Amino acid sequence: MDNRAADLKAVTHIDNVRLGGDGKSVVIIDQTKLPNAAEYLTLRTAEDFYNAIFELKVRGAPAIGICAAYGIAVLASQIDTEDYSIFLEKFRKYKEYLNSSRPTAVNLSWALNRMEQTVLRHQDESTAQIKDLLLKESRSIQEEDMQMCRAISEYGLSLLKDGDGILTHCNAGPLATSRYGTALGPLFLGKEQGMTFHVFADETRPLLQGARLTSYELYKGGIDVTLICDNMAGIVMKNGWVQACLVGCDRIAANGDTANKIGTSVVAVLADYYKIPFYVLGPTSTIDMNCPTGEDIRIELRSPEEIRSKFYAEPMALEEIPCYNPAFDVTPAGLITAIITEYGIARAPYEESLKEIFRKKKTGALPD
Ligand code: MRU
């Protein structure tokens, strides 16, 4: 028996973020330690949650949102008052603090706002009841994410053919989400159905999510994967080895401009040149209809050390050399063939098609 195929379920059901059994902590797999060690961390304090997100121990837009939702439910359970307004004030302090951990992925503020709405909707109930409702809401956020990933995977798979070569950037698999993932979801689902793909995983400098996480997940799931440096995407496309690019997203503006891991826009430009479809896959929780265009997306800037010295045995540039380290870039909507959500596939003009996706969300149920 192929051991790797047997691992498919383990990969798609990885325990990346979960509420601790006592409801007073959150347990995450430390993504910075993968693929060399599977270490779990227990988070309890506001600083634990902030640091886990800021240091990318938990990462990927949906997983950040899930962790923050669980985090604020745990922190709210520690607020020792029966007075609603004191409770709300303390809740909001925690919310602001967690929300400041990373600015680009909208799922963080989306999840925290949803948790705040729970507090506001139940102001006539006791703080003890509100605490229970927050735990319930945080669990729903994760359960819904599982359903969303499954639906995205199905829509995404409908665009692929058996034997396709795929290029992906960064990591939008089960570690970054719940279950199948977004950009990697169609590949895991296709594999379950007996399809084969060959995937080129960009290593994704400077934090190497493609090397450390994507190639690991695909390999463990029994999917053929070849790791390439980011600057090799052009040659594999030119060689005719790529039939589709699949990427995740951190914030999609109302006009379809999409922020994702730095380097994504370079892949999109190459795909456009080589006439390869470029698909963005993400849940509606990553679409920010209050953000008109990519110009309005705040891009996280990170430490120069991630470029100069992280992952190297010794620094690869003098300390004096200035570095520019944006964590994300924005792919213009014009380079995106389609945006695949849990409510269907949106195509240009995105101003219209994304609104239609939200209309469906209001009325429709997710496919089973
Ligand atoms: O900095 P990261 O690793 O959190 O960036 C993650 C990405 O860019 C992912 O592609 C995105 O969050 C989608 S995850 C389904």
Pocket probe mutation, ligand 1, options 170, 184, 252, max atoms within 8 Å of Cβ: 170
Distance CA 291, CA 287 (A): 9
Q: Which residue type does 151 have? A: A
For the segment 323-351, the average pLDDT, to the nearest whole number, is: 98
- Which is the closest atom of ligand 1 to the Cα of 181? 15
Q: Give the model confidence (pLDDT) of 275-302 as tens digits.
A: 999 999 999 999 999 999 999 999 999 9
Q: Which helix (H) or strand (E) holds 201?
A: strand 198-202
pLDDT over threshold 60, residue 1: no
Higher confidence at residue 299 or residue 9? 299
Three-state secondary-structure class, residue 343: coil
- Cα(261) to centroid of ligand 1, in Å? 6
The pLDDT score that the predictor gives to residue 5 is: 57
pLDDT over threshold 60, residue 3: no
Token code pair at residue 244: 């589709």
Contact of 60 with 178, CB cutoff 8 Å: no
Q: Give the model confidence (pLDDT) of 114-170 as tens digits.
A: 999 999 999 999 999 999 999 999 999 999 999 999 999 999 999 999 999 999 999
Active site residue 230: no
The pLDDT score that the predictor gives to residue 258 is: 98
Pocket probe mutation, ligand 1, options 261, 297, 302, 328, max atoms within 8 Å of Cβ: 261
- Cα(88) to centroid of ligand 1, in Å? 31
Strands (E), 90-243: 165-168, 198-202, 224-228
- Which is the closest atom of ligand 1 to the Cα of 300? 1
Spot the catalytic one: 145, 164, 202, 250. 250
pLDDT over threshold 50, residue 348: yes
